[in-house]
Amino acid sequence: MNYAAGAVTPMSAIFAAVLLMLIVLLIAPLTAYIPVAAMGGVILLVAWNLIEFGQIKTLVRASASETGILVVTFLATLFLELEFAIYIGVLLSLVIFLSRTSHPEIVTLAPDRDDPKNKLVNVDTKPVPQCPQLRIVRIDMSIYFGSVNHVANKLAEITEKQGIKHILLEMSGANFIDVAGAEMLVHEAEKLKAQGGGLYFVGMKARVWQFMAQGGFIREIGASQFFDSKQEAIASIYERLDKEVCETCVTRIFRECLEPRKAG
């Protein structure tokens, strides 16, 4: 009712609470004479005005999962106590959120040789050639305890099935990393290092970098594995690649790949 009356600031809630307290203390005995049917009608009218049918239509069209949450919460309010219905709605929302974020989108990138700046593009949308020794991967969500298995499986797929020992993670899409995620990255970095390769990072946001540094994870991985720009990262990683493979490579997608050919 406060919102429907035009309240726009937090102070309105304070004034409404004070007025309600005064009404309860001073006028409460008079409410005994109000018919229950009249009070029920007022409550139904207020509840009806709180329903936003336009938003419900948008919700049904846009998201099946959120529509399910709406239906379950609505039915729970009919058959259970109100507080339990609220708990069910919140828990169901949390489960769906964890389900979504536990499978972050992991995109493989490669330079577009048709672009003058060698811009990195998604190989799924534009099938450009890829380096046979290096994979550039972008993780478009947070790396936390719920998503570590998915990320680790993707990295394992690149190393074991594709035979790649050097992986560059483009981290501009990762807003958050927890301890479980950081430990997983340390483990993957150590595993690749033992195979003669490496796990590298570029585009890491400041707060993510700060967390990794404070936890000692950057020291464990190695500061030389972190870069400020893609150009710097590729140039440094290129020096660590197997030059015998580079000599027989026919893709030569990086600018650095052309230097030996020009020199020869």
* Per-residue confidence band for 151, with pLDDT thresholds at 50, 70 and 90: very high
> Token digits for 242?
């197997």
* Per-residue confidence band for 67, with pLDDT thresholds at 50, 70 and 90: confident
Q: Determine the distance from the C-alpha atom of residue 91 to the mean position of all C-alpha atoms in its chain, rounded to a whole number.
A: 19
Q: What is the mean pLDDT of residues 242-252?
A: 87
Around 128, how many Cα atoms within 13 Å sit in the side-chain half-sphere?
A: 22
How confident is the model at residue 263, as a pLDDT? 42
Whether pLDDT at 159 is above 60: yes
The per-residue pLDDT for range 162-220, each reduced to its tens digit, is: 999 999 999 998 888 999 999 999 999 999 999 999 999 999 999 999 999 999 999 99
Non-local CB neighbours of 256 within 8 Å, separated by 6+ positions? 234, 235, 238
The per-residue pLDDT for range 3-52, each reduced to its tens digit, is: 777 787 888 889 888 988 888 888 877 777 888 888 888 888 878 877 88
Query: What is residue 251's three-state secondary structure?
Result: coil
> Token digits for 133?
């020794």
Between 117 and 132, where is the model more confident? 132
* Per-residue confidence band for 259, with pLDDT thresholds at 50, 70 and 90: low
- E-assigned strands of 171-255? 198-202, 226-227
